[in-house]
Amino acid sequence: MAHTSQETDDGGPARGRWSAFRQSPFWPATVLVLILAAAAGFFAGSYTYSMANPTPRLIPTAVVGSYEKAGGRAFLRGLEQALNTSVRVHPYETRAAAREAIEQQEVFAVFELRDDGRDAALDVSGASGASVAELLAQTAPAVGKKLGVQVTVRDVNPLQRGDPRGLAIFYISLAAVIIGFVGAIQLSVHARALTPLERILFTVAYALLGGFVIAATVDWLLGAVDLPFAESWLILALTMFVSGMVFTMFNTMFGRWAMLPTWGLMVIIGNPSSGGAVSWPLLPSPLGVIGRWLPPGASVNAQHTAVYFQGHQHVFPFLVLAGWALLSCTVFWVWRHRHPGGREKESPEAEPEAAVS
């Protein structure tokens, strides 16, 4: 009796039950339940925070004409008050120069103020950001009416007919991101014996084929967006490859828990901050900055420019994608011995045994 009492006091049976629970399949299942619940909250929270109530923070705007005169300054001040944001003014000498700034994606609209600000022409660019263009097109005439300014609005760079809200690019980029790391997960599960070089080559293969199928489906089959096919295919393939290698990198670093940092980086942070669903001036400031340095944002930016601003492509999003590709491949290659996949080398002792048998 005394022995049993001492064993209970020391927590022996309780410790034994805990140890048994840790060794049972119920332990990882319980951990996964908690992780999935937290992931659901983070997923819903990140998208709601960034997209549910888009609010302008800073809208770069070109101005031409008599914007420095009293009427022009009053109109711009009234516009800022109505939008509850800062309208960053970029003056240009001619309307053509201001239009070129739209093509370079340096500004989102052009105000030409005439007759001491009593008359204004507003050129918006739906392709630069449908939500920003719609906001300016609604707000500017209302402000002009209060101040006695006649405002004429026109969309000088509209979205394509099959993509009236400008979301198709976000969707195809999202598909490339998700299928990219899902493909890497499936390689790890169903082709875990691949060597490091083979794993990279097969990631290239499904990225090239997957990017082609995404572009062909959206353009040729559905006719939703007229893509510059070769360039769009390249961007989608590069996005899928980067996404796949990011998971492979995390799989090398964290093993079976690699999905957590991959999902956090690419989906919870990367996609809401990409500017694809909500233009970056309407995103919370930190997301608008961070998103451009992550693969989903770089993919959206490169694809957006390829489709709607042909001939004005920027190198920055490609550098971001290339940087993530180089980082993930380098980490995977340097630490490839830690990756759970790969073919085991036959031991020297195994050959004689095989010969005898």
| CATH number of the domain that residue 89 is part of | 3.40.1710.10
Residues 215 and 293 in one domain: yes
Same-domain status, 270 and 331: yes
pLDDT value, residue 187:
95
pLDDT of residue 117: 67
Same domain as 202, residue 327? yes
Per-residue pLDDT, 345? 43
Does the residue 41 lie in any domain?
no
Give the global pTM: 0.85
**For residue 344, what pLDDT is reported?**
65
Within 8 A by CB and 6+ apart from 39, the residues are 260, 263, 268
| Tokens 């572009």, located at residue | 215
Do 223 and 314 fall within a single domain?
Answer: yes
Give residue 357's pLDDT. 33
pLDDT tens digits, one per residue of 137-188: 999 999 988 888 889 999 999 999 988 888 999 999 999 999 999 999 999 9
Count the domains in the chain. 2
CA 177 distance to own-chain centroid? 8
The answer on 277 and 220 residing in a single domain is: yes
119-124 and 109-114 strand pairing: antiparallel
pLDDT tens profile 32-78: 888 888 888 888 887 787 776 667 778 889 999 877 777 778 888 88
Q: Domain for residue 159, yes or no?
A: no
Instruction: Out of 153, 182, 202, pick the residue that ends a domain.
Output: 153
Quote the domain boundaries for residue 252: 165-336
My answer on whether 179 and 286 are in the same domain is yes
Residue 242 · residue 331 · CB < 8 Å: no
Both 132 and 202 in one domain: the answer is no
Name the residue with tokens 């010969």. Answer: 355
Residues of the chain with pLDDT under 50: 1-2, 7-8, 345-357
How many other C-beta atoms lie within 10 A of the C-beta of residue 58?
14
How far does the chain reach from its first CA to its final CA, in angstroms? 59
